[in-house]
Structure 1
Amino acid sequence: VTFMFEKQGVIIIEKEDTDEDQLMEDALEAGATDFLTDEEDIFEIRTEPNDVGVIRDELGEKGYNIISSEAAYIPSTYTRLESQDDMKKMAKMIEMFEENDDVQNIYHNWENEDEYEED
């Protein structure tokens, strides 16, 4: 199912005490392809997969607090699960994959994962 995902570099930077406009300018100058601010406490910068290390290092040298950086598979489309039963099944499946020693990474397109409430 890799056709449903696009490999991109993802750099996560802490928002606290960070000037958003300056970070956006610095990231784009360094070669970033996208800048996302949807989250409350982080900025997410997207790059070409092979550029993530260079851009991370350049932003780190400028003093930004980098939480993580990696090449990841980003979904082309997202699926919203409406029923708690479907959410429970999806959460259980993800948990089973996480517990499997043979599984290195899990990528999914579950849009509203944060709305799931465990029983």
Structure 2
Amino acid sequence: MAGHSKWKNIQHRKGKQDAIRGKLFTKISREIFNAARAGGGNPETNFRLRMALEKAREANMPSDNIQRTIDKALGNIPGVTYEELIYEGYGPGGVAVMVEALTDNRNRTAAEIRHIFSKRGGNLGETGCVSWMFERKGILTVNKEQSPVSEDELMLMALEAGASDFSADDDEYEITTTPEEFAAVQEALTKEGIKFEEATVTLIPQNTLELRGEEAQKMLLLYEALEEHDDVQAVYANFEIPDEELETY
């Protein structure tokens, strides 16, 4: 799971993940959109949407923002059609990069994503050039200190609910599922009083590349620039950067 957790750890160290309220709203909006798009706009029958809406309420996200996101996912906004696109390319050092975007103007977004890649030392590739290096999985993380049960108990509960893997590090437990079992596992553990720091279906690289020096710096700048683009929903890459390198960033 190093490929999944590495960038998350970078963000934590730099205080960037959810540090700005607008970024938190953006993250939650993406969860709401994906949940509504996949399972409909009724939280009573869509567990993923219900969990995303709870996060939105905890963050004091305006109800207008929430409803607009759901309407966007369901195609209920007159005159506007949003299209989900995936861009694939390479970053500095040959890092594989995948970008999930949501846009109402395919040509504009493609041009802007291509510009970001080229400006930051990467290049946009053809469809399929790097997607084979990633596997889609569900990831659920639990803070160790906040878990109401022991590690062994949580592992047993997760596996019985349908999880495919369970791991632990110094601070948290990580539960892995197939995309198909994600909602069922999340719901089963929630009913047992488990609260998640993160619950998402994501792309995990099958192997990673270690970057140092200038290549590491350039890759971080590319990643951030892609994440900050308004149309980008998520960015995935197969790089790792040693802790000592991060101290210079």
Instruction: Tell me the TM-score normalised to structure 1 length.
Output: 0.90
Q: Does 1:53 align with 2:174?
A: no
Structure 2 unaligned residues grouped into runs of 5+: 1-129
Q: 2:168 is matched with which residue?
A: 37
Which runs of structure 2 are paired with 1:75-94 in the superposition (5 Å)?
75-81=205-211, 83-94=212-223
Instruction: Please give the per-residue CA displacement for 1:21-66, whole angstroms capped at 9, x wherever unaligned.
Output: 000000000000000113x211110001021111011111111121
Q: For residue 239 of structure 2, give the secondary structure of its aligned residue in structure 1.
A: coil
Q: 1:118: how far off? A: 4.0
Measured in 2, the distance between the counterparts of 1:24 and 1:78 equals 26
Decide whether aligned partners of structure 1 residues 41 and 99 sit closer, same or farther in structure 2, where only a CA change above 3 A counts.
same
Measured in 2, the distance between the counterparts of 1:27 and 1:16 equals 18
Measured in 2, the distance between the counterparts of 1:31 and 1:8 equals 13
Decide whether aligned partners of structure 1 residues 8 and 95 sit closer, same or farther in structure 2, where only a CA change above 3 A counts.
same
Measured in 2, the distance between the counterparts of 1:33 and 1:10 equals 10
Measured in 2, the distance between the counterparts of 1:51 and 1:76 equals 20
Q: For residue 226 of structure 2, give the secondary structure of its aligned residue in structure 1.
A: helix
RCO comparison, higher one (Cα < 8 Å, 6+): 1
Q: 1:113: how far off? A: 6.2
Q: 1:17: how far off? A: 4.8
Match of 2:201 among 63, 66, 71: 71
Aligned length: 117
Tell me if the contact between 1:87 and 1:113 (Cα under 8 Å) persists in the aligned partners. Answer: no
Measured in 2, the distance between the counterparts of 1:17 and 1:117 equals 29
Measured in 2, the distance between the counterparts of 1:109 and 1:17 equals 30
The structure carrying a bigger helix percent of its residues is 2
Match of 2:226 among 91, 94, 97: 97
State which structure, 1 or 2, has the greater radius of gyration over its C-alpha atoms.
2
Q: 2:156 is matched with which residue?
A: 25
Q: For residue 233 of structure 2, give the secondary structure of its aligned residue in structure 1.
A: coil
Q: 1:112: how far off? A: 2.6
The aligned amino acid for 1:58 is A
The aligned amino acid for 2:197 is I
Measured in 2, the distance between the counterparts of 1:113 and 1:96 equals 21
How high is the sequence identity, in percent, across the aligned residues?
A: 38
Which region of structure 1 is more displaced relative to structure 2, 90-99 or 109-118?
109-118
CA RMSD of aligned residues (A): 1.5
